[in-house]
A and B are shown apart, each in its own frame.
Chain A
Amino acid sequence: GAVVSQHPSWVICKSGTSVKIECRSLDFQATTMFWYRQFPKQSLMLMATSNEGSKATYEQGVEKDKFLINHASLTLSTLTVTSAHPEDSSFYICSARSGVDIGETQYFGPGTRLLVL
């Protein structure tokens, strides 16, 4: 299957700092990328959908000024958690797909564990 990478895999930061997470599709062009967060023992919750070159579409309840998403190219999307607080500590997973067919497989990155102290 296609490969999606995320960097960093782990980040620990102080409260109030901003953290940037990168998501790359390594062997395909991702027309659409998704960002999810997952709390321990819970399911994945979609935060936002982004298409290359356009603004991200955020899910209800997700603060777009806090979670800045940039999808600058067909292989790179970034999520910046601005002024992170302990409640932002979570597992963030990006996902990417190359086509628009309903059956198009969505490939996931390995995730980034964020701990805000």
Chain B
Amino acid sequence: AQKITQTQPGMFVQEKEAVTLDCTYDTSDPSYGLFWYKQPSSGEMIFLIYQGSYDQQNATEGRYSLNFQKARKSANLVISASQLGDSAMYFCAMREDSSASKIIFGSGTRLSIRP
């Protein structure tokens, strides 16, 4: 069974609009961490934001925020005021405490920002 599910293969958004990228996860481990990474066409993986399973508040980093709904097992990424440079692949990822520190990735969402 898939541990990380990203149901949006691709999205188009108008510049300056906010966008939400969906991510659901599956784990029975009470301790886990959720990550979002951005991969531009150059291929590098850029860390955006992290949410721990015990964190009480949603994580925020500049224009990025993570809408963490633990009961629903979702960790959506919200990008406010999108910019042309936000066009990239976005991957949701999870690390379980029991998994020897490895991160597993979802299938990704390709975000395209229209000028």
Chain A interface residues toward B at CB < 8 A: 1, 32, 34, 38, 42-44, 46, 49, 57, 91, 93, 95, 97, 100, 102-111, 113
Chain B interface residues toward A at CB < 8 A: 31-33, 35, 37, 42-47, 50, 52, 91, 95, 97, 100-108
B100: A residues at CB distance < 8 A = 49, 57
B44: A residues at CB distance < 8 A = 108-111
**Alpha-carbon distance between A59 and B87 when the two chains are bound, in angstroms:** 31
Q: Are A32 and B101 in contact (CB under 8 A)?
A: yes
Q: Are A34 and B102 in contact (CB under 8 A)?
A: yes
Q: Are B31 and A102 in contact (CB under 8 A)?
A: yes
Enumerate 12 A-B pairs (CB-CB under 8 Å) in ascending A order.
Answer: A43-B91, A43-B107, A43-B108, A46-B102, A46-B103, A97-B101, A102-B32, A102-B52, A102-B101, A103-B50, A105-B35, A108-B44
A105: B residues at CB distance < 8 A = 35, 47, 50
Name the contact of B102 in the complex, choosing from A49, A100, A110 (C-beta under 8 A): A49
**Alpha-carbon distance between A117 and B45 when the two chains are bound, in angstroms:** 27
Q: Are B42 and A110 in contact (CB under 8 A)?
A: yes
B43: A residues at CB distance < 8 A = 38, 91, 93, 110-111, 113
A102: B residues at CB distance < 8 A = 31-33, 52, 95, 97, 101
**Alpha-carbon distance between A97 and B97 when the two chains are bound, in angstroms:** 15
Name the contact of A49 in the complex, choosing from B37, B45, B101 (C-beta under 8 A): B101
**Alpha-carbon distance between A102 and B105 when the two chains are bound, in angstroms:** 15
Nearest 9 Cβ contacts at the A-B interface: A108-B45, A111-B43, A102-B33, A110-B44, A43-B105, A44-B105, A43-B107, A103-B33, A103-B52
